[in-house]
Amino acid sequence: MKTSEGLELNEKETGVGRKGNPPIPDLEKTGKRKEVPKEDEKDDKEFLKEADLNDPIVMGIEGPLDPKSNWRQIEVNYKETFPDRKVIYTRYDKGAGQIIISSNKQDKGKLTEEFKVKLGDDEFIIKKLEGDKLDKFWTEHGNHYNSCANKKLSLSSTSCFNNTNRVKEEESGKRKT
């Protein structure tokens, strides 16, 4: 401290201050500050929340027995067709499958409309499951759905937390971008 040109100890040597106690200089802005949207304004389609698991819509997928496309391609196509919807779970095997979407903050009437997906030579029909088919899905695949949904929820919570911390670090200048 004794060799410092800009700092000095106070009289009791219990604190540090600037030599001569000059006034704090004005803040010099070096660039534009990034605008961070409020939590409720953020596009949260990539993050799964607890509310998304309440009252999900189970859609059935019907298609070829031996498709060239897989469940991931079906899910990607669905997300591209309906970018405002959150997909919680997708499976497809031997001509049948399911895609489960969140009904949170959605018009349920529009969510249940039947539509076709064409991937290369493969054509899939997606429509809402009801009655025995819905019961059969929950009996045969309910545990798998719960496992996948809870894993996605856990990963989303971690990602959301990490993303929030990253933005705060960038704003405070602690993180180099």
What is the DSSP-derived secondary structure letter of residue 59?
E
Q: Is residue 65 part of a domain?
A: yes
45, 80 in Cβ contact below 8 A? no
Q: Which residue has the tokens 């899910």?
A: 75
* Domain, as residue range, for 98: 50-140
pTM for this model (two decimals): 0.61
Q: Is residue 5 part of a domain?
A: no
CA distance 147 to 125: 26
CA distance 71 to 98: 9
pLDDT at 42: 46
Q: How many CA atoms lie within 13 A of 146 on its CB side?
A: 7
Percent of the chain topping pLDDT 90: 19
Which of these, 49, 45, 46, lies nearest to 149 by C-alpha position?
49
CA distance 48 to 159: 10
| pLDDT over 80 (residue 116) | yes
CA distances from 151 to 20, 64, 94, 98, 171 (A): 58, 29, 25, 18, 30
Q: Is residue 59 part of a domain?
A: yes
Q: How many domains does the chain have?
A: 1
Q: Is residue 27 part of a domain?
A: no
129: CATH = 3.30.70
Q: Is residue 38 part of a domain?
A: no
Q: Is residue 99 part of a domain?
A: yes
Condensed to tens digits (0 to 9), the pLDDT of residues 132-168 reads 999 999 999 999 998 888 888 887 766 554 555 555 5
